[in-house]
Amino acid sequence: MYGYYGMMGLDSTWIIYVLPALLLAAFAQLKVSSAYNKYSRLPSGINLTGAQVARMILDRNGLYDVKIEPVRGQLTDHYDPRTKTVRLSSHIYSGSSIASMSVAAHEVGHAIQHAEGYYPLILRNNIAPIASFGSRFAWILIFLGFIISPFFIDLGIALFIGVVAFQLITLPVEFNASRRALVQLENGFITRERIKPVKEVLSAAALTYVAATLVAVGQLLRLLVLTGRRRD
């Protein structure tokens, strides 16, 4: 019988399906940190903070009811559709760099998606509770499946498919928010020579979502291979 620890250990399936994605994830994190550090020192050229840029873009799109709040941490920026709030980390909120402007505009892109009823965002928000539950309990159920009954393995895999679905849906949502951010910034916020740095910041952030998706897909494929072996 192929045991749980073999399943979780560093066997050939882990090397084939998971390791390449983890290496890409590490590279993506390095790239986004490098871009953030580089362009957080480059002035945007318009002497506006990230919070001010966000407010101006929201207002010119008629989103006067969307709030902007500072949040603790670094790169913890996000849009909360439940409260219609753009939350920006302190350096983004009060900074006036290329990085501050780019990240703030990206999060506002999500607010614009929400206001327009952008379907992938709606779908992602609906799947989010399932994905959160699945990421916490899928592996526990799979462990129980190896001890008690294969039924729990199937249930755990079903939950993990929800996690993968969430990651896949996140990709178009994030890429679309970045495109919206670039369009908004090109309309009166950045000069031609600032377009490339803005794109670098947005592209580096997008790569982290690609890597996270590949990690989730790799883990799912590994699960299917290993559970298939067990049934054989």
Going from N- to C-terminal start, the domains of the chain cover 4-43+106-231
Hey, is 108 helix, strand or coil? helix
pLDDT at 10 exceeding the cut of 60: no
Residue 5: pLDDT band (50, 70, 90) is: very low
Catalytic residue check, 174: no
Taking alpha carbons only, the member of 56, 114, 47, 62 closest to residue 84 is: 114
The Cα-based distances of 6 to 9, 19, 27, 122, 188 in angstroms read: 5, 16, 27, 39, 57
Contact by Cβ (8 Å): 166, 124: yes
The Cα-based distances of 147 to 2, 75, 157, 222, 227 in angstroms read: 11, 40, 16, 19, 13
What pLDDT digit, counting tens, does each position of 64-86 carry?
A: 999 999 999 988 999 999 999 99
Spatial strand order in the sheet of 85-89: 67-71, 85-89, 78-80
Mean pLDDT across 203-208: 91
- Looking at per-residue pLDDT, the higher value among 229 and 69 belongs to 69
Given 107, 116, 174, 186, the catalytic residue: 107
pTM > 0.75: yes or no: yes
pLDDT at 230 exceeding the cut of 90: no
What pLDDT digit, counting tens, does each position of 97-140 carry?
A: 999 999 999 999 999 999 999 999 999 999 999 999 988 898 89
What pLDDT digit, counting tens, does each position of 169-203 carry?
A: 999 999 999 999 999 999 989 988 889 999 999 99
The H or E element spanning position 68 is strand 67-71
Alpha helices in 40-149 (DSSP H): 50-60, 90-94, 98-116, 119-147
> What residue has token string 């990421």?
135
